[in-house]
Structure 1
């Protein structure tokens, strides 16, 4: 009788090992061998490492920011970017006091576009030197909208498109990411 009891206990012990240890081993193998697509919840392009834009935003209060640098010639792509950051800021609703839509103006920015910015008071303008802008955003070329955290670190960017419909769809992605970041952050 004890022989049958010991066989049953051995089977039970092996079953417990299989039930509890096998999933851990399979999970470790899956992670090491990339058997699945790693999930990413952000819709923008992640900047790794983050870009320190304190040289541009040093005098500003800590807030989440959507930052766009006004180019020398404000074409359709530029207009779409300005429209996008304004609409995203408006769509934040009651959370809009924690965020700010910022347009960085350099000495070579389009003067007509700068004059039109005064008609939209919710777009905050910051004057910066072309050198500071180039040093801050050196790793990302072209027109882009940046999400900047409360410590003045640009962490996500979104390329701007000349097509209005594509720009609107990208605005939805920006809004989703900003809402998620603001929900997870108690700062700003």
Structure 2
């Protein structure tokens, strides 16, 4: 083999192995593609520790909603959503729990209406939480709120957000061995 042919072979071999690495580095540095996030909710970073609120609670995944002072369309959609998502979990529903946090100032009429949702549990607290009442939170088995979903007052948008919650809950329950 001639000297020129061996140099050509060497250059081709280097290009075949080095060029993909260089291109991958450029793609990562310049955000040429969306990074691999598969969650549909918004990630809370850092997570919110809910241990004080959920002390002595069984380790389960939770769909948590904070009842506002006045239950409007957003509130009604959130209550409907957490109930439907819990029901849609099917055989995995024993590993999850739908919880509504209530305070003394929460809408008492809406609390009474929770009887329409027999699988949604209420958690009365004395001090208000820092969580927004326009969002539903996913709380892990170690009582950390990790994902949240903004609920809209439009029913169709709320149903779409429920599908996102369900997809994330199914994925978390599938990948988790706890709870």
What TM-score results when the alignment is normalised by the length of structure 1?
0.89
Tell me the distance in 2 between the aligned counterparts of 1:37 and 1:162. 30
Q: Quote the residue 2:24 is aligned against.
A: 27
Structure 1 pair 35–119 and aligned structure 2 pair: CA distance change class (3 A) = closer
Aligned to 2:159: 168
Return the index of the structure with the highest Cα Rg.
1
- 2:35 is matched with 38
Higher normalized helix content (fraction of residues): 1
**Deviation of the 1:182 alpha carbon:** 1.2
Are 2:67 and 2:133, in contact at CA under 8 Å, matched by a contact in 1? no
- Aligned equivalents of 2:42, 2:119: Cα separation in 1: 25
Structure-2 separation of matches of 1:16 and 1:129: 69
Structural RMSD (CA): 1.4
Contact 2:65 2:137 in 1 (8 A): yes
The corresponding residue for 1:80 is: 77
Q: Please state how far the C-alpha of 1:173 moved relative to its aligned partner.
A: 0.7
Unaligned runs of at least 5 residues, structure 1? none
Instruction: Give the number of aligned pairs.
Output: 179
Which residue number corresponds to residue 114 of structure 1? 111
CA contact (8 A) 1:108 1:130 kept: no
Measure the CA separation in 2 of the matches of 1:127 and 1:59: 14
The DSSP-based 3-state class of the residue aligned with 1:109 is coil
Residues 1:96 and 2:74 are matched in the alignment = no
1:149 aligned to which of 118, 132, 140 = 140
1:61 and 1:123 mapped to 2: Cα distance? 15
TM-score (norm 2): 0.93
Q: Residue 178 of structure 1: CA displacement?
A: 0.9
- 2:63 aligned to which of 54, 63, 66: 66
